């Protein structure tokens, strides 16, 4: 690709800048040799986004997603790196499985970093070969979709990952309080008792739905924070969704414990009222919460109590969603609308500026995942050319059928949201652009 000069950009802190790209690096505009020039007046440049929580579903026999399609969706959303969760089929619980994900990513549209399972088969009984998986390229470990319920086993896992500076990303769900079939927040069932009814003739019944109380999340948040304090190892808390969990996190941050946390786009924008109609599109784990929880999560993200946005991009084939609510699988697409949701809920409300967005969606997730040497870097000469160019004002109606994902379980379908991503560059290569952007 020829040298590229992108003119009239605005940095996250509001400074005008021109950026030069040669090969995979940023270089000074004065060093370019007959570059192709692009006018980017009105666009903000951010470091390429990093998602610490992506389900790419490959390998898997179901084809809800592949590494190729998932990273194409990621590039469309402005991401230049994604961490691939371990709940594939088979589970990524060996060094060979980690290497397989790396091989699958050779022609991807974003950097793919494999996450290893904490326990064998994510069954919560025996630890995976953590050290061997680290040698194969894994620094983040997670049984996401399942909580590591055995506290002694979790403590042992933290001690082992702590030896090489790794991190465990915990799915905070006490399965004694919220079983695998739990799917509705307790606050919603209190307000709409018929939702959990199994009596014939109840027109609003969703079937034998079990409640997912806020305490099922916060008790694991509290436990794992204490285990991190005990071991000195890093814990990352996935998809924080309740005000009670936020308050426990505030305590941990005040005590400078090695704890980080994420909020998902859907918990920032959506709320439990969408569950009343029984649409399985909105079934997710943890469930959508009430507006008070949503406000607490937004404020915590603004304050830095919640460190990052993690998409929890969870594609499903239609058959997984076209079932009665209790039997339908939880999960939503998230990569392509993540930045737009953050603009809508955090930037347009004054809770974050663009520097804050860059920190929470690029710099900090790269640091947590230990890829800060190549992702989430400053926009400076000599740095990797991992960039996303955004239009702060553009809006568009979300169309699930326009997605680059193989799946269509998009909870934002039909909503008018910010549509900020104009172009994404990974290692200097355009991985997604608006039509004709490069043809100027």
Active site (catalytic) residues:
312
As given in the structure block, the two tokens for residue 35 are: 């570059």
* CB-CB contact of 322 with 57 (8 Å): no
Residue 249 falls in which region: left (phi positive, over 0), alpha (psi -120 to 50) or beta: alpha
Q: In 3D, which of 396, 428, 299, 412 has the Cα closest to residue 356?
A: 299
Distance CA 210, CA 317 (A): 24
- Our CA dihedral for 359, 362, 364, 368, rounded to 10 degrees, sits at 170
Distance CA 309, CA 338 (A): 8
Give the DSSP H/E element, type plus range, for residue 159: helix 151-162
* CB-CB contact of 249 with 300 (8 Å): yes
Residue with the two structure tokens 């930037």: 347
Bridge partners (DSSP) listed for residue 423: 389, 433
DSSP 275-333: GTT--GGG--SSPP--HHHHHHHHHHHHHTSS-EE---B----HHHHSS-TTTSPP-B-
Residue 45 falls in which region: left (phi positive, over 0), alpha (psi -120 to 50) or beta: beta
* CB-CB contact of 308 with 368 (8 Å): yes
């Amino acid at each position: 690709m020829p040298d590229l000069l992108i003119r009239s950009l605005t940095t996250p802190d509001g400074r005008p800048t021109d950026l030069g790209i040669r090969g995979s690096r940023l270089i000074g505009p004065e060093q370019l040799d007959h570059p192709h020039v692009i006018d980017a007046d009105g666009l903000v440049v951010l470091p390429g986004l990093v998602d610490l929580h992506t389900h790419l579903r490959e390998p898997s026999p179901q084809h809800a997603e592949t590494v190729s399609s998932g990273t194409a969706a990621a590039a469309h959303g402005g991401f230049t790196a994604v961490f691939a969760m371990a709940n594939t089929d088979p589970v990524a619980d060996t060094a060979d499985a980690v290497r397989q994900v790396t091989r699958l990513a050779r022609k991807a549209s974003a950097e793919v970093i494999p996450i290893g399972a904490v326990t064998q088969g994510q069954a919560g009984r025996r630890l995976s070969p953590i050290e061997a998986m680290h040698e194969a390229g894994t620094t983040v470990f997670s049984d996401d979709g399942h909580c590591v319920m055995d506290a002694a086993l979790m403590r042992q896992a933290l001690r082992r990952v702590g030896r090489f500076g790794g991190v465990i990303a915990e799915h905070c769900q006490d399965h004694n309080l919220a079983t695998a079939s739990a799917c509705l927040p307790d606050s919603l069932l209190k307000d709409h008792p018929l939702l959990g009814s199994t009596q014939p003739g109840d027109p609003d019944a969703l079937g034998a739905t079990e409640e997912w109380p806020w305490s099922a999340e916060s008790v694991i948040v509290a436990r794992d924070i204490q285990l991190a304090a005990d071991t000195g190892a890093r814990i990352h808390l996935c998809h924080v969704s309740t005000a009670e969990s936020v308050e426990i996190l505030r305590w941990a941050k005040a005590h400078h414990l090695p704890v980080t946390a994420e909020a998902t786009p859907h918990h920032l924008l959506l709320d439990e009222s969408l569950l009343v109609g029984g649409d399985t599109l909105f079934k997710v784990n943890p469930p959508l919460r009430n507006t008070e929880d949503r406000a607490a999560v937004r404020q915590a993200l603004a304050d830095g109590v919640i460190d990052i946005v993690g998409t929890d991009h969870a594609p499903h084939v239609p058959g997984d969603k076209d079932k009665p609510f209790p039997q339908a699988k939880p999960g939503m697409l998230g990569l392509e609308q993540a930045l737009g949701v953050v603009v809508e809920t955090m930037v347009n409300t004054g809770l974050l500026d663009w520097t804050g967005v860059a920190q929470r969606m690029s710099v900090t997730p790269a640091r947590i995942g230990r890829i800060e040497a190549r992702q989430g870097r400053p926009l400076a000469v000599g740095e990797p050319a991992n960039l996303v160019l955004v239009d702060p004002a553009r809006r568009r109606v979300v169309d699930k059928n326009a997605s680059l994902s193989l799946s269509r379980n998009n909870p934002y379908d039909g909503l008018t949201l910010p549509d900020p991503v104009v172009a994404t560059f990974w290692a200097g290569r355009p991985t997604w652009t608006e039509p004709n952007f490069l043809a100027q």
